[in-house]
Amino acid sequence: AQSVTQLDSHVSVSEGTPVLLRCNYSSSYSPSLFWYVQHPNKGLQLLLKYTSAATLVKGINGFEAEFKKSETSFHLTKPSAHMSDAAEYFCVVSGGGLTGGGNKLTFGTGTQLKVEL
């Protein structure tokens, strides 16, 4: 069984300040972890993924996330927020299901990021 918990449903930051979106996971397998972003009226876009290589993962648009097994966390960060970062962000864990792995994804409930001037 696997699950993911996004600790904040809404986060508001000022442009130019750091972003922290928190995610904790639970998985019976060695998980693959992802962050996806969904802009209004658009499909999901993959920001970054962790697949048991380096624990600090760099993604697109200046985002990165650190896998911490001891804390079962995979928080998403960005040093300086931009107005275009305003969107909904989903933390996702992969693995499990009838196929024994593969791409059955379990999504968190999402964090809405608001960026203010």
Partner 1 sequence: NAGVMQNPRHLVRRRGQEARLRCSPMKGHSHVYWYRQLPEEGLKFMVYLQKENIIDESGMPKERFSAEFPKEGPSILRIQQVVRGDSAAYFCASSTDRRGPNEKLFFGSGTQLSVL
Note the residues at the interface with partner 1 (CB under 8 A): 6, 32, 36, 41-46, 49, 51-52, 90, 97-99, 101-110
Residue placing its CB nearer to partner 1 in the complex, 51 or 80 = 51
Of 70 and 103, nearer to partner 1 (C-beta) is 103
Residue 107 CB, shortest distance to partner 1, in Å, is 4
User: Smallest distance from the beta carbon of 103 to partner 1, in angstroms?
Assistant: 6
Alpha helix segments (H runs only) across 6-96:
none
Query: Position 8: which residue type?
Result: D
Give the CA count within 13 Å in the CB-facing half-sphere of 77. 10
Q: Which CB atom, from 83 or from 98, has the smaller least distance to partner 1?
A: 98
For residue 117, the minimal CB distance to partner 1 (Å) is: 27
What minimum distance in Å lies between the beta carbon of 80 and partner 1?
27
Sign, CA dihedral 84-85-88-92, equals positive
Nearest to 75 by CA among 14, 4, 3, 1: 4
Do 41 and 53 touch, CB atoms closer than 8 A? no
